[in-house]
Amino acid sequence: MIKKFLYSQKVAPYVFVLPFIAVFAIFWAYPLASSVEMSFQHTMLGQEAEWIGFDNYTKLMSDGVFLKAVTNSVVYMALTLVILIPLPMLFAVLINNKFMWGREFFKSTFFFPALTSVVVAGTIFRLMFGEMEGSLINSFLGLFGIEPVKFLKGQVTGFVALLALASWRWIGVNMLYFLSGLKSIPDEYYEAASIDGASSFQKFTMITMPLLKPTTVYVVTISIYAGLAMFIESMMLWNGNNSPKNIGLTIVGYLYRQGIEKNDLGYAAAVGIVLLLIAMIINITQLIFTGTFKKED
Amino acid sequence: MKKHLVGKTLLFVFFTIICAIILVPFYAITIGAFKPGKELVRQGLNLSFDLSVMSFDNFAFLFTGDHAYFTWFFNSLLLTVVQVVFTLLVSATVAYGFSAYEFKGKNFLFICVLLIMMVPFEILLLPLYTLTFNLGMMNSYSAIILPGIANAATIFFFRQYLRGIPKEIIAAGRVDGANEYSIYIRLILPIMKPSFAAMAILNGMNSWNNILWPFMVISDAGKYTLPIGLKTLLTPYGNNYDLLIVGSFFSILPILALFLAFQKYFIDGMTAGAVKG
């Protein structure tokens, strides 16, 4: 009887998707809901929680360190977009050129950095951007007579190191995204444009850019999330969650500091909710602006 | 034609320069793996190929020294294999449910799949941490594997792939008297095989390199994975560069070898998300 029930075509689909329902409920919906709940509480691991209304949020708004973390994360996200959208797109278009020699070799090389873990890549960049005279970047600057720079002690130079790390790891992956987008553009469009006497630049702006839009929107969307949620990169470069004057502190870093290091779970949960709101607002604005919602009909 | 040759050469030179820059960090860590830790503390990583300070000492220490590197290495290997096998099987099954049937709540559930992809995982760190603590799952690999076992991106990819499989196969299976589950196991899973390679690579790479969540739930040194172990070599009181650099270098090798052997699947797996539904 039970067997017959489980084997029916009406019940089978639920059996198939059951693992997803379970994982979604236990490891996503419940934690998200309890995160919202915790953000209105004063709570510590293994202790009774106490309701405090919006106190965590009002405290956040006047918390200078938190505002510093938000600024860092937003600036980092914006700068990764500035670098990691146009450059990979340009590289993809160039490498896709039919006159290209050694295309496969270059594509593989571009992909290599994505194979390394943040821990390994962070270690390499930490030592390359070391403040010693002999470290890679400083010895390079030395060739031009520039004094050794203490990269990880200054705001701007620290961000240079962070962005170098991000660019190194993701430029190849983003280029591959654009390459797979380029594949879907029919050659006939370019041939027709050539007949009409369009220049290479015109072809790029009139055909390539508009038809790459779905890929671009996808890459922008994931880059916004990745940029706002960055944490381990900073932790590796500064060898821990404490950078001088918090120059490398990110929103997730602050969430970690409050929640894990100080065990102030309620306050940390509020940090997480603010991050979620920032991410949603920026991404929804971006998706409306690029017309992604409209296209569905 | 001459114009093309000039363009070709310029493009080639341009990409050679860019790729040389991309390879610099790899070159630096390769050289660094042959230098003593003292030298790295004094100089950082650089490009100087100075044979007077370089030796195989670090490699000798890596393979014979008194440290837990290979415990971490095999922990990572075990976790990666188990995680990939379970995640792929569970995600493929869920994707099949979504693609083969019409059922009440299907659209709502599929929106849930998309929702997971829309919220950064980091937001859930703390509630997941307390949940793991309350369930008594701290220090266990199941705390790492279970939350991602029905992986949204993987489900999404498999569902796209299943769209290309004709529904007639399922109907024919039913005519032959096969039940719903044996249709999936005997008829559909074998056809899905090619799509497993790309997802195995994507999930395997994420698992091998994963640090944030494992770092939070695993505190027992005997259970450290490679990224956690390597990270513990960096402490505020001083860094064990002798092992860190050679260990980092060595940790890239297996994944690089896999990449060179299965390049196509890496690229398919990484770009899977960008294929428009």
- The per-residue pLDDT for B132 is 93
> What's the topology of domain A17-296?
MetI-like fold (1.10.3720)
Which candidate in A101, A124, A200, A225 is best for mutational testing of the B interface (most B CBs within 10 A)?
A124
Q: Are residues B148 and B258 in the same domain?
A: yes
> Quick one: pLDDT band at residue B2, thresholds 50, 70, 90?
low
- Do B125 and B225 lie in one domain? The reply is yes
Boundary of a domain, candidates B64, B79, B110: B64
B248 and B148, same structural domain? yes
Is B154 or B267 the better-scoring residue by pLDDT?
B154
Contact B56, B36 (CB under 8 A): no
Instruction: Using an 8 Å CB-CB cutoff, list chain B residues near A132.
Output: 42-44
Q: Does A125 touch chain B if contact means CB atoms closer than 8 Å?
A: yes
Q: What are the residues whose beta carbons fall under 8 Å from the beta carbon of B239, sequence distance 6 or more? A: A239, B37, B41, B233
CA distances from A24 to A17, A105, A288, B113, B152 (A): 11, 41, 27, 8, 10
β-pairing, A41-42 vs A50-51, is antiparallel
First-last CA distance in chain B = 41
Report chain A residues whose CB lies below 8 A from the CB of B273: 218, 222
B48 and B108 housed in the same domain = no
- How many Cβ atoms are within 10 Å of B133's Cβ, its own excluded? 14
Count CB-CB contacts under 10 A for residue A146.
Answer: 10
The domain total for chain B is 2
Final residue before a domain boundary, out of B64, B91, B108: B64
- A52 — phi, psi (to 5°)? -130, 15
Is residue B32 within 8 A of residue B40, CB to CB? The reply is: yes
Which residues in chain B are closer than 8 Å to A32, comparing Cβ atoms? Answer: 119, 123-124, 127
Instruction: Supply the pLDDT for residue A122.
Output: 94
**Which of B22, B112, B181 comes nearest A113 by C-beta?**
B22
Tokens read off for A258: 């409050």
Q: pLDDT tens digit string along A223-232?
A: 999 999 999 9
Per-residue pLDDT of chain A (297 residues; tens, 9 = 90+): 777 788 888 899 999 999 999 999 999 999 999 999 999 999 887 778 889 989 999 999 999 999 999 999 999 999 999 999 999 999 999 998 877 888 889 999 999 999 999 999 999 999 999 888 888 999 899 999 899 999 999 999 999 999 999 999 999 989 998 998 898 888 889 889 989 888 888 988 999 999 999 889 989 988 999 999 999 999 999 988 889 999 999 999 999 999 989 989 999 999 999 999 999 999 889 888 887 766 544
Same domain (yes/no): B251, B130: yes
- Predicted confidence (pLDDT) per residue in B203-234, tens digit: 888 899 899 999 999 999 999 999 999 999 88
Distance (Å, whole) CA A296 – CA B276: 12
3-state secondary structure of B239: strand
Q: Are B101 and A128 an interchain contact pair (Cβ–Cβ within 8 Å)?
A: no
Examine the predicted complex and report whether its ipTM is higher than 0.90. Answer: no
pTM of the model: 0.91
Shared domain for B106 and B208, answered yes or no, is: yes
Tell whether A177 lies on the interface with B, counting CB pairs under 8 A: yes
Q: Closest Cα to residue A269, out of B65, B181, B10, B131? A: B131
Same domain membership, residue B126 and residue B178: yes
Pairing label, strands B234-235, A50-51: unpaired
Q: Domain boundaries in chain A?
A: 17-296
Of A134, A218, A269, the CB nearest to B126: A269
Nearest by CB to B101, from A13, A269, A279: name it: A13
Which chain B residues are closer than 8 Å to A102 by Cβ?
12, 15
Give which of B25, B24, B235, B53 is closest to B243, Cα–Cα: B235
Question: What's the CATH number where B265 sits?
Answer: 1.10.3720.10
**Residue B222 half-sphere exposure, CB side, CA atoms within 13 Å?**
1
Q: If we measure between CA atoms, which residue out of B155, B81, B169 comes closest to residue B115?
A: B155
Domain interval for residue B186: 69-274
Distance, CA of A231 to CA of B123 (rounded, Å): 12
Chain B interface disruption, residue of A15, A105, A119, most B CBs within 10 A: A119
Instruction: List pLDDT tens digits, range A85-132.
Output: 999 999 999 998 877 888 889 999 999 999 999 999 999 999 999 888
